[in-house]
Amino acid sequence: QVQLVESGGGLVQAGGSLRLSCAASGSIFSINTMGWYRQAPGKQREMVATITSGGSTNYADSVKDRFTISRDNAKNTWYLQMNSLKPEDTAVYYCYCNTRYRDYWGQGTQVTVSS
């Protein structure tokens, strides 16, 4: 089992920045891929950014060159640095990871970008 605790959401003006954090505990040795998804009102949940245990990253086209995913293995934590935020980035952001057997999700944190 893996437990995920997110932090760092909030309200920011367009053009601003926020950093989300996801702290993992439990069977962290079994994690393959970690990352962030988001879900805006009335829309499906979508991948924002992922990073594998080997360090390979993947980004949604809509956030490339604005968002950066990183991890701190010593703290069992990964981050999403979000720069140049736009109103369309407004959503609930979910921390995510998977193991060989299942996916795990955080509780979600609201990010609101005002115009």
H helix intervals, the chain: none
Q: What is the mean pLDDT of residues 20-32?
A: 91
Q: Indicate the average pLDDT of the chain.
A: 95
28 — pLDDT class (breaks 50, 70, 90): confident
pLDDT, tens digit, 9 for 90 and up, residues 37-73: 999 999 999 999 999 989 999 999 999 999 999 999 8
Of the pLDDT bands very low, low, confident and very high (cuts 50, 70, 90), residue 29 is confident
82-100 pLDDT, tens digit per residue, is 999 999 999 999 999 999 8
CA 15 to chain centre: 19
